[in-house]
Amino acid sequence: MLPAVAVAVAVAVVAVAVAVAVAVPALRHRLVRSALRRAGRRYRRRLEALDSGVRLRQERRLRRLLGTGTGTAGGWEEFQERHPLGQPCRDEAPGVPVPRNLRLWTLLPGCWDTDPRLQGSLLYLDALGAAFPRALARRGTALLHWSPGCPRAPAGWPLPTLYCTPCAAAVLPSRAAALRVQLLFALRQRALHVLEAGLAAELHDALVTLRTEWPRLAQELELGRLSPQPGLPEGVRDQLQALLTPAVARAAELRAECARGFEGIALRLWPRLEVVVVRTMCGAERLYCDSLRQADCQGLPFYCPFYQAAGALLGVNLWPVEPVARFVLCPDWAFCEFLPCLASKEPVLQHRKLAALTYAWSAPGDSSGPCAPHYEVFMELQGLRDLSEGQRYKLDQCLQEDFPIYKSFRFKGSIGPLRLHLVMPRTFTRLREALGSPVPMPRVLREEQLLQLIQGAVIS
């Protein structure tokens, strides 16, 4: 039998060992965070010094992209010859694989080369940390983003210890299963400071899952057990299950808050939450942001850190707290061609956001038959399964009031009355999953299977 002193010493040694094991990852996170922010500040100062000589830097960037070197051959003329106006381009930026075994001494030297993804992330980390000092806490960010096939790097990828979300959840074949698993891991972390999503629609759909499945989610938290579900392979479920432990108190808190309703639910579930980061807020994604601001994410600022177009990273938003996003275009990142835009008093139809439509998709109708060409509008509404003829007529009138060109075509009879269809709940969620990649909702559906999906979901 060991004497009491020996037992006390043994307990003290174990306690110290546990404290060291906990402190080492936290210390490593702080050191890497400090180094990355310092690099971000240096690059920001360098970026501010690039105001002069922008045209020369753009020409050098163009020559690097074309592979023509730095001589006098090629350049602007070759670019116009290779890429004439009117050619389609990709809307999705290439993904950056999630780094593994990240080594700071190999990462930092690369921040001065021409890799825009790294430079953009360093600027993002510095801007976010300056505006919200606690936002860069270890495991203080939850990621809600579906990237099937291969993991795509989050905004703060040089500092992976920011995230409490397991990488395996993002690459599930099912979008719904991926967002649900990511939501569950986010719910486990009460001390979240940042909610990050690739698309605003992903955050919206995850919170819709919270509304509909919170009793089951609370049970999984309480038991520390991930239940089987469609789209979650058994092997991946076992891998994720190993990361879960029972969280009885957190499950009780989830039940209590969801029973009160869902207005402002984000801040009630995560009281330390400071900001919502969304990497894309353009087009239809802005509608999802507006919906989130008014309901689930009430009281939280939204920050869009990057400006991307045609598969390229063009600029960065250095002002996270400002309500209207503005971006610094970085001349070393991509070549930007500014085309003249002729002044016109008439609005451009289908290139503007239709203020009268929310969560809707429209397409030109068939021109065959007795009816004139028309638009068919698909809408998903909560709590309604039918619309009166007066309500359908009112939508057409609102479009005519908002868009004079549409009104003139309707008056001349070259466009017939629009046809409004209500679709089943979560139709647009299924449509996003059928697209097969995390991109904003397209303006035009060009594949027969996608058109059949939305037409087959019509209930009225």
Strands 194-197 and 275-278: parallel
Long-range contacts of 258-263, Cβ-Cβ distance < 8 Å, separation of 24 or more:
258/210, 258/211, 258/214, 258/218, 262/207, 262/210, 262/211, 262/295, 262/296, 263/295, 263/296, 263/298
Q: Which two tokens stand for residue 257?
A: 């808050």
Q: Which two tokens stand for residue 303?
A: 């920050």
**pLDDT given at position 10:** 39
Q: Which two tokens stand for residue 396?
A: 């057409």
First to last CA, the chain: 80
**pLDDT given at position 196:** 96
> Residues 243, 184: contact at Cβ < 8 Å?
no
The Cα–Cα gap between 19 and 22 comes to: 5
The Cα–Cα gap between 124 and 132 comes to: 12
The Cα–Cα gap between 246 and 244 comes to: 7
**pLDDT given at position 298:** 95
**422 membership: H or E segment, kind and range:** strand 419-422
Q: Which two tokens stand for residue 208?
A: 């819709």
Lookup result for tokens 């509304």: 211
- The domains of the chain are located at 4-70+91-100+107-329, 360-455
**pLDDT given at position 75:** 67
Instruction: Strand 328-329: give its sheet, edge to edge.
Output: 306-309, 312-316, 328-329
The closest alpha carbon to 237, from 331, 328, 319, 173, belongs to 173
> Residues 155, 305: contact at Cβ < 8 Å?
yes
**pLDDT given at position 431:** 86
**pLDDT given at position 55:** 77
Q: Residues 6 or more apart from 236 whose CB is under 8 A from it?
A: 168, 172
**pLDDT given at position 22:** 52
Q: Which two tokens stand for residue 325?
A: 């996003």
What count of other Cβ atoms lies within 10 Å of the Cβ of residue 71? 8
Per-residue pLDDT of the chain (460 residues; tens, 9 = 90+): 445 444 444 334 334 333 444 568 889 999 999 999 998 998 888 887 766 677 777 777 777 777 765 554 556 667 767 666 655 444 444 445 444 444 554 455 545 455 788 889 999 999 999 999 999 999 999 999 998 876 778 999 999 999 999 988 888 888 999 999 999 999 999 999 999 998 999 999 999 999 999 999 999 999 999 988 888 898 899 999 999 999 999 999 999 999 999 999 999 999 999 999 998 877 778 888 999 999 999 999 999 999 887 667 888 999 999 988 899 888 878 777 776 665 554 444 373 334 334 334 445 555 444 457 888 888 888 777 777 888 888 888 888 888 888 888 888 888 888 888 888 888 888 888 888 777 777 767 778 888 888 889 988 8
Largest CA distance in the chain: 101
The closest alpha carbon to 275, from 284, 265, 266, belongs to 266
Q: Residues 6 or more apart from 403 whose CB is under 8 A from it?
A: 347, 349, 352, 354
Q: Which residues pair with 362 in a beta bridge?
A: 377
Fill in the DSSP letter of residue 420: E
**pLDDT given at position 323:** 87
Strands 360-364 and 419-422: unpaired
**pLDDT given at position 282:** 76
Rg (CA), the chain: 26
**Inter-CA distances, 236 with 146, 165, 373, Å:** 15, 14, 49
The Cα–Cα gap between 86 and 372 comes to: 29
**pLDDT given at position 87:** 52
The closest alpha carbon to 457, from 432, 423, 422, belongs to 423
Q: Residues 6 or more apart from 363 whose CB is under 8 A from it?
A: 375, 376, 444, 445, 451
The Cα–Cα gap between 193 and 207 comes to: 17
